[in-house]
Structure 1
Amino acid sequence: MAKEQIAVAELITNIILGKTDGASRVDFFPQKQKFPFDKPYEQPFPRATPESQGISSDMLADLLRDLDTSNYTDMHHFMVLRNGKVICEANFAPYRSRIWHVTHSMCKSITGMAIGLLVEKGKLSLDENIYDIFQKNLGTFTKIFRPKVTVENLLTMTSGITFNESGIVSGNDWLTSYMNSSITGNPGENFLYNSLNTYVLSAIVTERTGQTLTEYLEPRLFAPLGITRYFWETCPKGITKGGWGLFLCTEDMAKLGQLYLQKGKWNGEQIIPEFWVEVSTAKHKESIEGTFGYGYQLWMEARPGSFEFNGMLGQNVIVYPDMNMVVVTNAGNNELFQDCVMLNIIRKHFPLDFHPADVLPENPCAHSLLNRLTAELEKGTRAPQTLPALRKGGWKKNPSGLRRSSNARTNTWNYVKELPAPDPNQFTRQLNGKVFELSPQSIGLFPLFIQVFHNNMTEGVQKLSFTCEKGDFFVNFLEAGEWHNIPVGLGKFKESWLTLHEESYLIAASGEFTTDENGTAVLKLDFTFLEECVRRKINIFFLPEDEILIRWYETPGKGMIMEGLESITEEISNNFLYGAFKGAGGLDLLHKVMEQTIEPVSHGYLVMPAEEVTEETDPITEDSSATTAPEQITNDTLKTTE
């Protein structure tokens, strides 16, 4: 096997065996920054009623309801612009406006903009051979036996180079590994989506300018558009990741779509060359089944002339030139790519034969109802839908009144017996001061998605405790010798920072005391990572004799990770762990073990009072323009988990 295949197999093996600490071959270095609440938000779009821009408020409300109630969407942020004005914006609790969100592959289109700037300045040609650009990274064999791979091949995802996303766990020097990897087919012929193609485009920017991609774009793109709140991760060698790793606010994503809608102009200045906008948004290659073609780091959309900046799990900027419209989404959907339920819902509401009017008569009643709907979504007070159990573990009704994502339905049960929930005040008093030692101790607070994408691997939670202080309820986790004290809102979300290995993540935590169908008391926790696509859900069952059973989930989780596991079955089949399973079911058994790793179960045993649990305060501050939902506690009382 190639070294990247071995590394992937080893990583999965270590995760299965609970050896996540040190599981990756990539050196970890803390780089994730705290969200900069103190930075002012610049150049916001003007707001307007939908009707003033030719769109019906009723139509947008129907679209939001469909997105909110779909079983396959978990919406975080949504925004619609027409004629350069925001006509609809919704934040789905506990996510709130003007906080950045991971963009995943949506940022590939931004890397493409940087290439366009280099081409315009004569610093790069699309037909240049990347092996000429990076000769110093080539081995002797590669220099002799290598076809030509051009910059344009990278832009159109037709390089044919086999070193892909899975290779990033194989070591620190991604560029050298990529340049010396094998090639399938003839470069330029077959579309094969590969995020490392975009990473190499970022490396080209650095090679030709002496600056990282982020440094190069700051004065040329981000500053002119007033984009101040962003962060882009680098590889261990300091090269901006390019194809992923960018955190960006929803409205700033909309600015990028509006920039392309305006042929690269912003406030009368040509920011991106017009020729580059036109050539990059033209279809160059047929893409995967169910999609509409690929340009230069951009996807074509169903509507003629439309295109999309697309990131997995629902990070999108959709541009409709014929309607002068931009639609932006952030989500944590249970689907990866462009052909997904969320985008099909949007396409349904903007069908090919739909053409908005220049202006519609104002409809105060419909606009008021739209505003009420968006307020309910942001506050988390929208009444839940009464739905059948569409999936294993679905519910019949939601007794808590909390808004749940559709993905949460896989983690709950039917309330067949209508058992009364425990009294929260009484239960928190009973739990106060109790400390439980966990077994096994390999399960971490960070979901696997975050661990792998940010290379921030967990050591596992050793102990769990509960404390009450001044009316606040805390669930505390001892991980890597450090207590993380998380304030949990009962029936609402409370925000705090969760810091592991010097990287801080903004989370919102809610809890609900209830009972299962057998009458066992349960504390259901939802830890939402507000800057990410994922949530960590934990159900704690309180058993007799001061024992607890804990079921751990992440959403989106098992379905996505198992889908990725299928793609590397061949690599795992040659690993020693698979050999141990051959006589007992082979990969089927391995898949079952992996499922149990993704959704593990642990036990806790009462050990002592919680004198060792300490708290520190680190208020979350933000500028006055950011919206804080009423259910959130005030900033000066927010607790840190650092």
Structure 2
Amino acid sequence: MNQEKVTELEKKINNDYSNIAGMVVLKEGEIRYENYFNECTAASRIHVYSVTKSIISILIGIAMDKGYIKSINQKVIDFFPDYIVKRSEKTIQNVTLNNLLTMTAPYKYKLFTPYIKYFTSDDWVKFSLDLLGGRGQIGEFRYTPLIGPDILSGILVKATGQSVFEFATENLFSPLGITVESNVNFHSKEEQLAFNKAKNISGWVADKAGVNTGGWGLTLSPTDMAKIGQLYLDGGMWNGKQIVSTRWIDESTKEHNRWEKLNLSYGYLWWVENGNGYAAMGDGGNVIYVNTKKKIVVSIVSLFVPKVKDRIELIKEHIEPMFENCV
């Protein structure tokens, strides 16, 4: 690896991507680059926002592999037999697990997402169920950053009989050597804002009912995220053990729908680049990027700032060319 090119890359990071906290590059499963910025270290844990969605996708796959979930075509409402649906609300009765995974479920809120009511409610799963359905069309792509994915967390709890945290620790984190220490609960808006800026909280946000978030709220390191990327690149195998089935990986990382407005393909809570790979992406510039052709994994953890420069552009134009010919 050319040290001059590394110096150029790090200069570009400092100038144009200055909120990056850490980055790891794997080629053929080997670490080719690892560095930290903004006073972060390998021990730092950062809120990775919507990368959490892709972790939930993996957990849904593992739950299916183990027989806890029979089919992605199961009706969402069937997982919540105690939830009372109003007779007039027919749409919610036809929403499937597949719709949640592909962001093709309709919701009652339109222009203004009720974030304050969401954050201040005690049960985020029920809050999301109450907003599911409405007059929208099932099957149309509608990306829901926060309100909606928690239903998937609720489904995992109902299907497995474990908390999402327990199920993830037993079946994904521990086998990969990833440490997520505990649930994180907020008692005030200030605590939540502090969490979003923190560099040293290892955990997964949960609501007052104890259910972990589905669309945000997990803290990871770049090494943790690189392991997730390598797991998928290796077809779900880790140290000789099948963690998640190859079938699920193949299905979840191919296009099932498309965000036409942004010309982006979507799988099962993974962004898809047809033919070349896929990525988990979180607000502020958090990324797990997998190039299946070049056998490259890039993980980037970032401190939150709004409207950051595109990390995929950084990876494709400045990182991949440096490492694609490494042997």
Q: TM-score, normalised by structure 1?
A: 0.44
- How many angstroms does 1:197 deviate by? 2.8
Residue 110 (1) aligns with residue 55 (2):
yes
Q: Which structure shows the bigger proportion of residues in strand conformation?
A: 1
From 67, 87, 105, the equivalent of 1:159 is 105
Corresponding residue SS for 1:310: strand
Matches within 5 A, 1:98-137: 98-124=43-69, 125-137=71-83
- How many angstroms does 1:146 deviate by? 4.1
Q: What is the match of residue 165 of structure 2?
A: 214
- How many angstroms does 1:99 deviate by? 1.6
Is the Cα contact below 8 Å between 2:75 and 2:93 reproduced in 1?
Answer: no
Matches within 5 A, 1:150-189: 150-162=96-108, 166=115, 167-181=117-131, 182-189=133-140
- How many angstroms does 1:129 deviate by? 0.9
Matches within 5 A, 1:592-611: none
Is the Cα contact below 8 Å between 1:314 and 1:333 reproduced in 2?
Answer: yes
From 73, 81, 97, the equivalent of 2:42 is 97
Seen in structure 2, the aligned counterparts of structure 1 residues 304 and 63 have a Cα distance that, compared at 3 Å, is farther
Corresponding residue SS for 2:265: coil
- How many angstroms does 1:154 deviate by? 0.3
Q: TM-score, normalised by structure 2?
A: 0.83
From 11, 28, 33, the equivalent of 1:83 is 28
Q: What is the match of residue 356 of structure 1?
A: 324
Matches within 5 A, 1:602-641: none
Rounded Cα–Cα distance in structure 2 between residues aligned with 1:296 and 1:57: 38
- How many angstroms does 1:201 deviate by? 0.7
From 246, 250, 260, the equivalent of 2:232 is 260
Rounded Cα–Cα distance in structure 2 between residues aligned with 1:195 and 1:234: 13
Seen in structure 2, the aligned counterparts of structure 1 residues 255 and 193 have a Cα distance that, compared at 3 Å, is same
Identity %: 28
- How many angstroms does 1:323 deviate by? 1.2
Seen in structure 2, the aligned counterparts of structure 1 residues 290 and 65 have a Cα distance that, compared at 3 Å, is farther
C-alpha root-mean-square deviation of aligned residues, in Å?
A: 2.4
More displaced 10-residue stretch of structure 1: 153-162 or 136-145: 136-145
More displaced 10-residue stretch of structure 1: 134-143 or 203-212: 134-143
Is the Cα contact below 8 Å between 1:265 and 1:271 reproduced in 2?
Answer: yes
In structure 1, what residue type is equivalent to 2:39?
P
Q: What is the match of residue 61 of structure 1?
A: 7
Residues 516-555 of structure 1: CA deviation (Å, up to 9, x unaligned): xxxxxxxxxxxxxxxxxxxxxxxxxxxxxxxxxxxxxxxx
Rounded Cα–Cα distance in structure 1 between residues aligned with 2:11 and 2:238: 33
Residues 277-300 of structure 1: CA deviation (Å, up to 9, x unaligned): 111110111126445311101112
Q: What is the match of residue 196 of structure 2?
A: none
Is the Cα contact below 8 Å between 1:81 and 1:327 reproduced in 2?
Answer: yes
Residue 320 (1) aligns with residue 282 (2):
no
In structure 1, what residue type is equivalent to 2:125?
L
- How many angstroms does 1:143 deviate by? 6.0
Rounded Cα–Cα distance in structure 1 between residues aligned with 2:49 and 2:124: 18
From 316, 320, 323, the equivalent of 1:347 is 316
Aligned pair count reads 300
Rounded Cα–Cα distance in structure 2 between residues aligned with 1:140 and 1:160: 16
Rounded Cα–Cα distance in structure 2 between residues aligned with 1:328 and 1:165: 31
- How many angstroms does 1:177 deviate by? 2.7
Seen in structure 2, the aligned counterparts of structure 1 residues 65 and 162 have a Cα distance that, compared at 3 Å, is farther
Residue 286 (1) aligns with residue 292 (2):
no
Structure 1 runs of 4+ aligned residues shifted over 6 Å read none
Is the Cα contact below 8 Å between 1:286 and 1:292 reproduced in 2?
Answer: yes
Residue 200 (1) aligns with residue 169 (2):
no
Give unmatched runs, 5+ long, in structure 2: 181-201
Residue 269 (1) aligns with residue 241 (2):
yes
Seen in structure 2, the aligned counterparts of structure 1 residues 89 and 213 have a Cα distance that, compared at 3 Å, is same
- How many angstroms does 1:174 deviate by? 2.4
Corresponding residue SS for 1:138: coil
Q: What is the match of residue 591 of structure 1?
A: none
Rounded Cα–Cα distance in structure 1 between residues aligned with 2:4 and 2:260: 34
Seen in structure 2, the aligned counterparts of structure 1 residues 145 and 231 have a Cα distance that, compared at 3 Å, is closer
